[in-house]
């Protein structure tokens, strides 16, 4: 009897010990937090152009194409391959073109031409270019040895279809011989090959006639009613005379276009002005400021399409 009771008590104690045994829980997963490293400002470093890709998007279908600016026997290109006539800023040379942003708000192109710049978040606005326009630069990556940026976002009409285009430009520190990792090609983009010269096209001005109805210069009001006939993407005639050059380009991020009339003797020389983006479709220019590229004299201009 005593033996049974003893065995019963031992059994109860054993069960109690097992019931009190602690359960081993799995260790919680350690989540490592990634802290974003601030992008370095591209200031105080001379960068030289290493490569460039142009993206072109069909605004009707969404189709995206990309083109190489440089290739075999092609070391010089331009940001706007559709306009044909460009500013010095818009020409790029592989292993030749240099950018330098100093600490005083000055941008130096190719070591000799100086413009001003402003910085807002990841956008640098270079302004005070030869025709009075500006060039916004969106910084994609920036470091002491490299710089990648989106430059010259603009629009073009080809065969009545509207396209958006821009360039991703890749630069590296002058003298740096290390590998340069370009941005990955955008998803869905179809390769269009290497750009071959300027991809000239017509615009909404081609084939239209306009009258300069009025201009005001030095407080003098003149109503010449002279006729401008735009005969191609970059040629016009004044009152039926010899062909003259003109340029029409989109000013990124402004809703404006830049129109330059070379040797427009009605106004008294070569004038460049900023007009509404839709002026060529609306058929009117009202009180737009045009500046003489040689004297910086400002003239207010009114024009209408015939």
Q: Quick one: 185 and 219 in the same domain?
A: no
Q: Quick one: 183 and 54 in the same domain?
A: yes
Q: Quick one: 157 and 255 in the same domain?
A: no
Q: Quick one: 137 and 221 in the same domain?
A: no
pLDDT higher than threshold 60 for residue 199: no
Mean pLDDT (whole number) for 78-96: 82
Q: Pick from 194, 227, 253: which residue ends a domain? A: 194
Residues 6+ apart with CB under 8 A from 146: 170, 171, 172, 173, 176, 180, 181
The DSSP-derived string for 37-80 is PPPPP--S-EEEEEEEEEEEEETTT--EEEEES-BTTB-EEES-
Query: Using CA atoms, how far apart are residues 162 and 22, in angstroms rounded to an integer?
Result: 72
pLDDT higher than threshold 70 for residue 185: yes
236-250 pLDDT per residue, tens = 999 999 988 887 776
Q: Pick from 126, 159, 194: which residue ends a domain? A: 194
Identify the CATH number of the domain in which residue 287 sits. Answer: 2.40.128
Q: Pick from 194, 222, 256: which residue ends a domain? A: 194
Query: Using CA atoms, how far apart are residues 85 and 232, in angstroms rounded to an integer?
Result: 13
Residue 124 structural domain: 46-194
Prediction pTM value = 0.58
Instruction: Give a yes or no: residue 172 inside a domain.
Output: yes
Instruction: Give a yes or no: residue 3 inside a domain.
Output: no
Query: Using CA atoms, how far apart are residues 236 and 206, in angstroms rounded to an integer?
Result: 9
The total of structural domains in the chain comes to 2
Its sign, for the CA torsion 181, 111, 258, 202, is negative
Instruction: Give a yes or no: residue 31 inside a domain.
Output: no
Tokens of 248: 């029409």
Q: Quick one: 51 and 186 in the same domain?
A: yes
């Amino acid at each position: 009897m005593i033996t049974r009771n003893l065995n019963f008590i031992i059994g109860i104690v054993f069960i109690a010990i097992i019931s009190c045994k602690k359960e081993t829980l799995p260790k919680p997963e350690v989540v490592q937090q990634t802290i974003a490293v601030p992008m370095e400002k591209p200031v105080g470093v001379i960068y030289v152009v290493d490569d460039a890709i142009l993206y072109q998007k069909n605004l009707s279908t969404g189709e995206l194409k990309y083109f190489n600016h440089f290739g075999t026997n092609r070391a010089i290109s331009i940001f706007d391959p559709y306009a044909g006539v460009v500013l010095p800023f818009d020409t790029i040379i592989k292993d030749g073109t240099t950018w330098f942003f100093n600490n005083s708000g000055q941008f130096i192109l190719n070591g000799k031409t100086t413009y001003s710049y402003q910085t807002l978040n990841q956008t640098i606005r270079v302004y005070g270019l030869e025709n009075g326009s500006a060039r916004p630069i969106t910084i994609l990556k920036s470091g002491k040895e490299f710089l990648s940026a989106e430059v010259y976002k603009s629009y073009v009409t080809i065969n009545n279809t509207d396209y958006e285009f821009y360039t991703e430009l890749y630069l590296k520190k002058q003298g740096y011989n290390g590998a340069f990792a370009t941005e990955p090609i955008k998803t869905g983009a179809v390769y269009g090959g290497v750009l071959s010269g300027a991809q000239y096209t017509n615009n909404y001005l081609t084939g239209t006639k306009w009258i300069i109805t009025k201009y005001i210069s030095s407080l003098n009001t003149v109503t010449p009613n002279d006729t401008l006939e735009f005969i191609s993407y970059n040629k016009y005639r004044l009152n039926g005379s010899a062909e003259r050059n003109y340029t029409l380009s989109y000013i990124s991020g402004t809703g404006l276009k830049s129109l330059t009339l070379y040797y427009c003797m009605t106004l008294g020389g070569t004038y460049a002005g900023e007009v509404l983006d839709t002026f060529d479709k609306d058929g009117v220019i009202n009180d737009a400021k045009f500046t003489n590229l040689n004297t910086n004299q400002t003239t207010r201009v009114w024009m209408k399409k015939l």
